[in-house]
Structure formats: structure tokens, C-alpha cells
């Protein structure tokens, strides 16, 4: 098979098999990782993170067969992340989630070996330097992904707007209009973060991502998390397979340093 390889999270096409089609899976800066908090180095030169989402324009919500995703208009610099470890500003392209079948795990990154029930990824690209998202996604400094852990607890007021739309994108390959959703509501109160050079956590696994992982998780209720599990990996005509455990396990850190924006 050439071009678009079929990959997924099943036994035959899951993360442990990806290296066969995507040899970079065994590269030197793969993601996710386990963040050992004592090994993270406080870097006083890291700037505070600036996340400007006020003028964001959400377009659609979709099920791509691997996750649920909300896409944004990214024709200008209205919606950007800058500062932190980044040179210049990176435009928001989409956000998506990873989650498990049980509360015990679902996140991709772990902290001191501990997984969270889920993880939100806000994907940004370097439009100053690259002409298209695709070009940026192949470059070492092309993408910046902000990762936010999901914890269960109180209901998250803003998450309902999202989970209430899931019925429209239950099946793989479905898409619905999803306007005026400001993702700022999904960020934690504190913008303390860890950062390290890494990769996409799904094929093609390009080593193009500056990761910015938030220290503080956001809380959603078990009921809200349960809505994610109503989504399917499969199309309408296929036999139903519940969309769960769509995460890759932590990869070897190799020679990389994890930097922290805060003193432990």
C-alpha cells in the first residue's frame, strides 16, 4: 500500500505496529513522553506563554476515525500562541482529544508515571516561516502543540457545548458546522508548563512539534467524559467499534531535556 497507510489503535494497526509503515516511530524525538517532574529543569529564560484566542473562528467539528476534532480559520494571526519556548507566533489550526475506556488512563503524556483520564491537544503552526500547515508539519520548528490534561471531578461548564455536538459526529468521516466556540475556556487557570522537542503522536509521527504541556489539569465530569466514549472508530455502514484508548504510550526520552517554566 502506498500513500495513505491505514493505521489505528487496534491490535493489528495500533501504535506498536506503526514503525512498519512509519520508521520515524523509532526516532530520537518521539512523543508522548513521561514527564519526570524531578528531571525537568527550571528555565528562568522561558517567557510566559501568551495565548490569544479571543478572536478565534471555529468552523467545524469532525470525527476523523481517530479522534474528535474542532477546526479553526487560520488565514491570519488572530488566534495564536506565542512566548514560552517559541520564536514568533503560531496559529491555531485545530484541537482534538485522546481518552481511554476507563478513568484510569487515556492521556498520552504522563507525569511521574501517572496517566490522566484524557488529554486535549491544541495544534498550532508556524505561519511566519511556512506557507501551509502541511509544510509546517514536516519542519522541525513547524508546530507547537499545547497539551492539557483532563481530570474527572466537577462538571466543566464549557465542555457541554462540545459534548452536546458529539451526536452529529458519532461516525468516522462525519463533520458538522461548529461556530463561535472559544477554546480559551478549555485552558487551566495557571499557565505553568513543561516544554520539550517532540513529534506528532499519530502517523506520520513527524518530529516537528514543540510540546507545551500544562502542569494544571482541567476538570470534567465522568458523565462528560462518558460522552467521548459514545463516538465510534467506524463509519455508519461498518460494524460498530467504540472510540476509546486512542492514545500512544510514552516514548523514550533519549537525549532530550524537559524544561519547566516554574520552580518545582
Query: Catalytic residue positions?
Result: 66
Q: Is the bond preceding 32 in cis, omega lying within 30 degrees of 0? A: yes
Are 95 and 68 in contact by the 8 Å Cβ rule? The answer is no
Are 125 and 192 in contact by the 8 Å Cβ rule? The answer is no
Cα–Cα distance measured from residue 71 to residue 169, given in angstroms and rounded to the nearest whole number: 13
Radius of gyration of the chain (CA): 17
Please, is 43 exposed, middle or buried when counting C-beta atoms within 10 Å of its C-beta (0-12, 13-18, 19+)? middle
Cα–Cα distance measured from residue 98 to residue 67, given in angstroms and rounded to the nearest whole number: 7
Coil/strand/helix, residue 78 = coil
Amino acid at each position: 500500500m502506498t500513500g495513505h497507510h491505514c493505521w489505528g489503535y487496534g491490535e493489528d494497526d495500533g501504535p506498536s505496529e506503526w514503525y512498519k509503515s512509519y520508521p520515524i516511530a523509532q526516532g530520537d524525538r518521539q512523543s508522548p513522553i513521561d514527564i519526570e517532574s524531578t528531571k525537568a529543569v527550571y528555565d528562568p529564560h522561558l517567557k510566559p506563554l501568551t495565548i490569544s484566542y479571543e478572536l478565534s473562528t471555529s468552523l467545524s467539528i469532525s470525527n476523523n476515525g481517530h479522534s474528535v476534532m474542532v477546526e479553526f480559520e487560520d488565514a491570519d494571526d488572530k488566534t495564536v500562541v506565542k512566548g514560552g519556548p517559541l520564536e514568533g507566533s503560531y496559529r491555531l489550526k485545530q484541537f482534538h482529544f485522546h481518552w481511554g475506556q476507563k478513568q484510569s488512563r487515556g492521556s498520552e503524556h504522563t507525569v511521574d508515571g501517572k496517566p490522566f483520564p484524557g488529554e486535549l491537544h491544541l495544534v498550532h503552526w508556524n505561519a511566519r516561516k511556512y506557507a501551509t500547515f502541511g509544510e509546517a508539519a514536516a519542519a522541525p520548528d513547524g508546530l507547537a502543540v499545547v497539551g492539557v490534561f483532563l481530570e474527572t471531578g466537577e462538571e466543566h461548564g464549557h465542555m457541554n457545548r462540545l459534548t452536546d455536538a458529539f451526536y452529529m459526529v458519532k461516525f468516522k468521516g462525519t463533520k458538522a458546522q461548529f461556530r463561535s466556540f472559544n477554546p480559551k475556556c478549555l485552558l487551566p487557570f495557571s499557565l505553568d508548563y513543561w516544554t520539550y522537542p517532540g513529534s506528532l503522536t499519530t502517523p506520520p509521527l513527524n518530529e516537528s512539534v514543540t510540546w507545551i504541556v500544562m502542569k494544571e489539569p482541567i476538570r470534567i465530569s465522568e458523565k462528560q467524559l462518558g460522552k467521548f466514549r459514545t463516538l465510534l472508530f467506524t463509519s455508519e455502514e461498518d460494524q460498530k467499534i467504540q472510540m476509546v484508548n486512542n492514545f500512544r504510550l510514552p516514548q523514550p526520552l533519549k537525549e532530550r531535556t524537559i524544561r519547566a517554566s516554574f520552580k518545582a
